[in-house]
Amino acid sequence: MRAKRAWCAALVACASLFAPCSVAAQETPQALRQEIDQLRRDFETLKQQYGDRLTALESKLAAAEGTPPAAPETPAAAAAPGAPAQPPAQPTAQVPPGAEGAGGPSGSLPVYGAGTAGSKVFNPDMAVIGDFLGAVGRNRVNPSPSLEMHEAEASFQAVVDPYARADFFVAFGEEGVELEEGFITFTTLPGGLLTKVGKTRAAFGKVNTMHNHILPWTDRPLVATNLLGGEEGLTDAGISVARLIPNPWIFLEATGQIYRGDSSDVFTAAKPGQVSVVGHLRGYHDLTESANIDLGFSYARGHNASGLAVDDLSGTQTTNLYGVDATVRWRPLRRSIYRSFVGRSEVIWSRREQPGGLQSANGFYVSGDYQFARRWFAGVRGDRSGRAADASLTDSGQSFSLTFWPSEFSQLRGQYRRTKYALGPTANELLFQFLFSIGAHGAHPF
């Protein structure tokens, strides 16, 4: 094998050495023949030289094999100044033929990062976001731990091939590990279809699509907790297709999603085939270069778990969800890093069939977040929501928050929350959050 490689090298060397001559000698066939003869002679000489050198090398190698392996501190290490000391287990390569002697290295050369160097290039962008929560105060209905490493979200994102990219978000929480989202996105399908396949957060409204670290609060609003399955929300395995609807006036995007039918406590498929569907229409318009408005209409339908206990109702009870969301943003471009305002609201209606009759619950939140300095934000939120399984019970709450960003990569938030539960005493709590991220620079949320 080695001999063969040496031959190849010799051939290439000869060819490149004599290439200019052979071009010049193309004038007469005779000259060409002479040239070829000369080449052949030179080649034979080289062959002889290499053969001798190889024999010498082989005998040297045979002798070396009998002795313990040499320490890695060979002259080869000096050939790469500044390179870190190589561990003895490093894979090695042979010194190229002809490079030996004349002060050049001899023996084995270390190959730096062999086997991994190529694959590292294609490693996905990785990041980990830590979400630490603290709570002070009294809440008898839904108490929060006083201190909690709530979640560590690891993300892995990369391009799969010329047609698709993949995104994985794995959440490590106190209750274990969960795939928060994991999907492939076909970015370049014809017809302007943006297609996602995998486990995704459903495109129902705004809050449901947000990961914890994107939220402008330490918690999720009551309407998300009561009607959309809380923190996990409408998240399921399925297929999502989104298309822009071309028109001269606004950005308009229609999204259709089909899921297995198991999302938190909202949807439960009694048998395969009881899929849930989600539809979303989003309109966006720039009012000025600094202000814009974002409107959304959402619909979701799937089977719920309420019929499972009753034999003849099993798999027949459905839940229909309707949502309207509106977001108003203001950020003056000339002072974009110092001032901004985001106003949000969502209204959600739930129509849940149950053995006891249809439960029609609804809820909403309204919030505003104002950035008053480069690193400071103040926010306020009002909440109100019925409960999906018992619409006669309504919870309501108010929150005030203050957020500080030491840098783009960490965030400190305090939130005062007052919650008036339908059953049980009113809760007054002071919630704290510390968010910190390492790794690849993520996109700023919009």
Partner 1 sequence: MGSMKFFFGILLATLTSVPAAAQGKLTVITTTEDLAAIAREVGGDRITVEAIAKGYQDPHFVEAKPSFIVKLQKADILIVVGRELEIGWLPPLIQQSRNAKVQVGGEGYLDASLHATILEIPAGQVTRAMGDVHPQGNPHYWLDPENGKKIAKDIADKLSERRPNDRAAFEKGLAAFTARVDEGEKRWLAAMAPYKGTKVVTYHRSFPNFAARFGLDIIGYVEPKPGIPPSPQHTLDLIAEMKRQNVKLVLIEPYFDSKTPNSIGRSTGAEVIVMPPSVGGVKETPDYIALFDYDVKLLVDAIKRAGAK
Contacts with partner 1, residue ranges (CB under 8 A): 159, 162, 165, 185, 187-194, 244, 251, 253, 282, 284-286, 289, 292, 294, 329, 331, 333-338, 374-375, 407-409, 438, 441-444, 446
Say what the alpha-carbon torsion angle 179, 181, 184, 186 is, to the nearest 10 degrees: 180
| Beta carbon nearer to partner 1, 155 or 317 | 155
Distance in angstroms (rounded) separating the CA atoms of residues 358 and 390: 9
What is the closest distance, in whole angstroms, from the C-beta atom of residue 116 to partner 1 in the complex? 19
| Beta carbon nearer to partner 1, 83 or 337 | 337
| Beta carbon nearer to partner 1, 209 or 362 | 209
| Beta carbon nearer to partner 1, 98 or 442 | 442
What is the closest distance, in whole angstroms, from the C-beta atom of residue 153 to partner 1 in the complex? 17
What is the closest distance, in whole angstroms, from the C-beta atom of residue 159 to partner 1 in the complex? 7
- Short-list 420, 379, 347, CA closest to 217: 379
Tokens of 241: 């297709």
| Beta carbon nearer to partner 1, 284 or 349 | 284
| Beta carbon nearer to partner 1, 17 or 193 | 193
Distance in angstroms (rounded) separating the CA atoms of residues 430 and 401: 10
| Beta carbon nearer to partner 1, 349 or 436 | 436
| Beta carbon nearer to partner 1, 329 or 417 | 329
Tokens of 134: 């603290």
Distance in angstroms (rounded) separating the CA atoms of residues 209 and 423: 29
What is the closest distance, in whole angstroms, from the C-beta atom of residue 333 to partner 1 in the complex? 4
What is the closest distance, in whole angstroms, from the C-beta atom of residue 444 to partner 1 in the complex? 5
What is the closest distance, in whole angstroms, from the C-beta atom of residue 383 to partner 1 in the complex? 27
Tokens of 53: 């050198």
What is the closest distance, in whole angstroms, from the C-beta atom of residue 99 to partner 1 in the complex? 29
Contact 51, 4 (CB under 8 A): no
How would DSSP label each residue in 68-115? Answer: PPPPS-SHHHHTSTTPPPPPTT--EEEPPTT-SSTT---SEEE-TTTT
Tokens of 50: 């290499």
Q: How far is CA 280 from CA 204, 258, 291, 363, in A?
A: 6, 12, 23, 19
| Beta carbon nearer to partner 1, 232 or 253 | 253
Contact 36, 28 (CB under 8 A): no
| Beta carbon nearer to partner 1, 85 or 443 | 443
Burial-class residue 180 by CB neighbours within 10 Å (0-12, 13-18, 19+): buried
Contact 348, 205 (CB under 8 A): yes
- Short-list 123, 86, 130, 127, CA closest to 108: 86
What is the closest distance, in whole angstroms, from the C-beta atom of residue 211 to partner 1 in the complex? 14
| Beta carbon nearer to partner 1, 60 or 441 | 441
Distance in angstroms (rounded) separating the CA atoms of residues 410 and 126: 17
What is the closest distance, in whole angstroms, from the C-beta atom of residue 194 to partner 1 in the complex? 5
What is the closest distance, in whole angstroms, from the C-beta atom of residue 403 to partner 1 in the complex? 15
From the centroid of its chain, how far is CA 32? 63
What is the closest distance, in whole angstroms, from the C-beta atom of residue 387 to partner 1 in the complex? 34
Phi, psi of 190 (to 5 degrees): -65, 160
Contact 426, 397 (CB under 8 A): no
How would DSSP label each residue in 328-385? Answer: EEE--GGGTTT-EEEEEEEEEEEEE--TT--EEEEEEEEEEEEEEETTEEEEEEEEEE
